[in-house]
Amino acid sequence: MKKLAEVLDPELNISIVDLGLIYGVKAKKDKVEITMTLTTIGCPLISLIDGEIKNKLGELGIREEDINIDLTFDPPWSMDKMSEKAKAMLGIG
């Protein structure tokens, strides 16, 4: 989670963890499965976020082919999922 917190949303420049986009992380031996969402369905920035996740986890020695990112919109993202830090950065809450 610490490495995922270093991944910033390209538009908002806020951590994907603080935005509440990460729904779960499972590590099994050398494999990592991440369940996440996006702020909007069809967000064109998923490839940038995906690449940055793999880059940051690669710093831990995890190979790209051992990282599975499961994109879901159930439940849909809402601002309620954001951390207080993210809300403060956006001037809401």
d(CA 89, CA 17): 14
Specify if 92 maps to a domain: no
Q: How many domains does the chain have?
A: 1
Q: What is the pLDDT of residue 15?
A: 98
Specify if 15 maps to a domain: yes
Specify if 61 maps to a domain: yes
Specify if 86 maps to a domain: no
Owning domain of residue 58 = 4-78
User: Residue 38: which CATH number?
Assistant: 3.30.300.130
Specify if 88 maps to a domain: no
Residue 62 structure tokens: 């995890």
Q: What is the pTM of this model?
A: 0.92
d(CA 48, CA 42): 13
Q: What does each of the 93 residues of the chain score in pLDDT, given as a tens digit?
A: 999 999 999 999 999 999 999 999 999 988 999 999 999 888 888 999 999 999 999 999 999 999 999 999 999 999 999 999 999 999 996
The answer to whether 65 and 31 have CB atoms below 8 angstroms apart is no
d(CA 72, CA 85): 24
